[in-house]
Structure 1
Amino acid sequence: MGLLSIIRKIKKKEKEMRILMVGLDNSGKTTIVLKINGEDTSVISPTLGFNIKTLTYQKYTLNIWDVGGQKTIRSYWRNYFEQTDGLVWVVDSSDLRRLDDCKMELDNLLKEEVCSIKMVITCQHNRLVTSNT
């Protein structure tokens, strides 16, 4: 679905959209969703399966599907593509050891039906390292 289709959908009074949040485990997907929703992010558990957060602004509803990123779950990501209006790929840019894995999984994802879904790639910097000198 292209941007024009999304605009048409909104104009047709279909004011509900589904956004899929995917990325490797511990990349910050849940943190983003909680922050957008104004919720506490001090204690976050790994997402097993998926969580759905619904945000409403005026007459618009946004359903954000936060899908777990563990290796055992990644093969199921394709099951969430249907009826998805947008996809957010989340990268933990501070985890340099896993950037190759992240690229490989994104490449695999792009081979799926997701090619027709509008995508945003966002980088999270999850860990701030401080030193006492």
Structure 2
Amino acid sequence: MGLLSIIRKIKRKEKEMRILMVGLDNSGKTTIVLKINGEDTSVISPTLGFNIKTITYQKYTLNIWDVGGQRTIRSYWRNYFEQTDGLVWVVDSSDLRRLDDCRMELHNLLKEERLSGASLLVLANKQDIKGALTPEEIAKVLNLENMDKTRHWKIIGCSAYTGEGLLEGFDWLVQDIASRIYVLD
């Protein structure tokens, strides 16, 4: 029995999921993690490196790796790819000048073999800000329709500030991962 088989058996028993949350800096990744966990979001500082938050969501344990998005640390993202079940890509829908950079970074991530089986949730964040692009517009800018057809993905509009859309997004992500990894109860 190989190491991966042993790890899968352990994960099945514990109903654990590893979620990697990435995106450009200031897109709202840390605020989303705190909001989902019911924590205070009034004072947030940029993530320099990464934060790990373990939360119980539905009947699963989610180990969420919130990784900083500054240009200087993006090259380190690959250090967090191993055993990722779900990838959450957070987009600042109101930051129109950085959407090309956002698309390029996402497509670079999606080329990574270690992320090939991960479900992809794109959170079009900051929908509460006037002038933000809709999820449909973000999907078009990110060229999501032309992704590898075997990848499971969904885009959801959300606001980390109000919490709108976050549960819908994480509900989809958890169910999609569970349908691939676990026998649904």
TM-score by length of 2: 0.53
Deviates more, 1:58-67 or 1:69-78: 58-67
Aligned residues of 1:19 and 1:84 also touching (Cα < 8 A): yes
Aligned equivalents of 1:35, 1:68: Cα separation in 2: 17
How many residue pairs match? The answer is 118
Structure 1 residues 83 and 127, CA, compared in 2 at 3 Å: closer, same or farther?
closer
- Unmatched runs of 5 consecutive residues or more in structure 1: 117-125
Instruction: State the identity as a percent.
Output: 92
Distance 1:13 1:102, change over 3 A: same
CA contact (8 A) 2:28 2:90 kept: yes
2:41 partner SS: coil
Q: Distance in 1 between matches of 2:49 and 2:17?
A: 20
Instruction: Could you tell me which runs of 5 or more consecutive residues in structure 2 were left unpaired when the two chains were aligned.
Output: 112-157, 160-178
Normalized per residue, the structure richer in strand is: 1
Relative to structure 1, is the Cα distance of residues 73 and 36 closer, same or farther in structure 2, using a 3 angstrom cutoff? same
- Select the structure with the greater relative contact order (CA < 8 A; seq sep ≥ 6): 1
Distance 1:51 1:5, change over 3 A: same
Tell me the residue number matched to 2:74. Answer: 74
Looking at structure 1, the residues matched to 50 and 84 of structure 2 have their Cα atoms a distance apart, in angstroms, of 14
Deviation at 1:110, TM superposition (A): 1.5
Structure 1 pair 73–14 and aligned structure 2 pair: CA distance change class (3 A): same
Distance 1:127 1:47, change over 3 A: farther
Cα shift at 1:60: 2.6
Question: Counterparts of 1:73 and 1:26 in 2: how far apart (Å)?
Answer: 14
8 Å Cα contact 2:11-2:17 kept in structure 1: no
- Name the TM-score, length of structure 1 as normaliser: 0.72
Which structure has more helix as a fraction of its residues?
A: 2
